[in-house]
């Protein structure tokens, strides 16, 4: 089946809106999903079927809890994390342009922050170096030498402006993202070897079994296991 980009956008926004998002919120979510989809990133339209989009019944408009000229903390109030991220990125760009540097954090978001390279790209498009990080309290990744999940996939992205297109690095600290597993499961395909374990600790290429077990750190060694630990404790 083939579908035009415009038709995909139209159908996707309709699906997003059915969860109760306003037109503005649905546009924010759609733009993030399409950015990923057009780059072959597994944080795209698969989220519409992978529980990454539904609106929390407790969701309210994100609010600013604390703010200084260079910093801010946003309480997402159970709104989808991507919606809070849009507000955070707009704030960090404004503050950095005024002060030279800025950092804005969010908490109590729901759902997914999406392809976080999207947010770093927006900062880079504004002529700034942007670093975006995300962590959730869901155990999916074990430390090196174990198959017991302790960490989340902890994605990190950098965006650097150039004279042409920005340079963007968007990576997970795990061998594959959670939605990469959902995408493979939906397509009925296996993932590459060495990416995860089943719940008994056996290596497997079955995405459904990995979702019940654990995803390996991306470098299969101590280095990234320690990186996950450091990232979790710091951020």
DSSP 7-43: HHHHHHHHHHHTTT--HHHHHHHHHHHHHHHTTT-TT
- Backbone CA torsion sign across 97, 64, 60, 234: positive
For the chain, the first-to-last Cα distance in angstroms comes to 42
Q: Where are the beta strands (DSSP E) in the chain?
A: 63-67, 71-75, 103-107, 130-133, 156-160, 167-171, 196-197, 214-215
Angle 19-113-128 from CA coordinates, rounded to 5°: 130
Is the predicted pLDDT of residue 179 greater than 80, yes or no?
Answer: yes
Predicted confidence band of residue 234 (pLDDT cuts 50, 70, 90): very low
Rounded distance between C-alpha atoms, residue 114 and residue 41, angstroms? 10
Contact predicate 194/62, CB 8 Å = no
Domain definitions of the chain by residue range: 1-54
The single residue listed with the structure tokens 């759902």 is 111
Any bridge partners for residue 156, and if so which?
133, 171
Is the predicted pLDDT of residue 211 greater than 90, yes or no?
Answer: yes
Rounded distance between C-alpha atoms, residue 213 and residue 200, angstroms? 7
Rounded distance between C-alpha atoms, residue 207 and residue 215, angstroms? 10
pLDDT at 123: 98
Of 51-55, 172-176, 214-218, the least confident: 51-55
Predicted confidence band of residue 230 (pLDDT cuts 50, 70, 90): very low
Residue closest to 116 by CA, chosen among 106, 193, 204: 106
Average pLDDT over residues 42-48: 87
Q: Per-residue pLDDT tens for 90-105?
A: 999 999 999 999 999 9
- Which pair of tokens denotes residue 123? 């900062």
Query: What's 151's DSSP letter?
Result: B
Q: Residue 214 belongs to what H/E stretch?
A: strand 214-215
The CA-based diameter of the chain, rounded to the nearest angstrom, is: 53
* CATH architecture label of 1-54: Orthogonal Bundle (1.10)
Residue closest to 139 by CA, chosen among 53, 214, 71, 85: 214
Query: What's 175's DSSP letter?
Result: S
Among 144-148, 166-170, 182-186, the range of highest mean pLDDT: 166-170
């Amino acid at each position: 089946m083939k579908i035009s980009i415009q038709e995909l956008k139209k159908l996707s926004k309709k699906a997003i809106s059915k969860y109760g998002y306003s037109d503005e919120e649905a546009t924010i979510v759609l733009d993030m999903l399409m950015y990923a989809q057009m780059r072959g990133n597994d944080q795209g339209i698969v989220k519409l079927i992978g529980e990454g989009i539904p609106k929390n019944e407790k969701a309210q408009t994100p609010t600013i809890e604390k703010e200084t000229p260079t910093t801010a903390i946003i309480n997402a109030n159970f709104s989808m994390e991507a919606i809070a991220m849009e507000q955070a990125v707009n704030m960090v760009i404004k503050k950095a342009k005024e002060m030279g540097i800025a950092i804005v954090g969010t908490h109590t978001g729901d759902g997914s922050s999406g392809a976080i390279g999207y947010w770093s790209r927006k900062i880079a498009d504004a002529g700034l170096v942007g670093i975006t990080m995300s962590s959730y309290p869901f155990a999916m990744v074990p430390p090196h030498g174990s198959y017991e999940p302790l960490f989340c996939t902890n994605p990190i992205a950098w965006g650097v402006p150039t004279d042409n297109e920005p340079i963007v690095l968007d990576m997970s600290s795990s061998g594959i993202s959670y939605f990469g597993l959902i995408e493979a499961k939906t397509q009925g395909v296996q993932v590459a070897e060495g990416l995860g374990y089943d719940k008994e600790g056996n290596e497997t290429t079955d995405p459904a079994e990995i979702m019940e077990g654990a995803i390996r750190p991306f470098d299969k060694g101590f280095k990234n296991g320690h990186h996950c630990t450091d990232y979790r404790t710091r951020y």
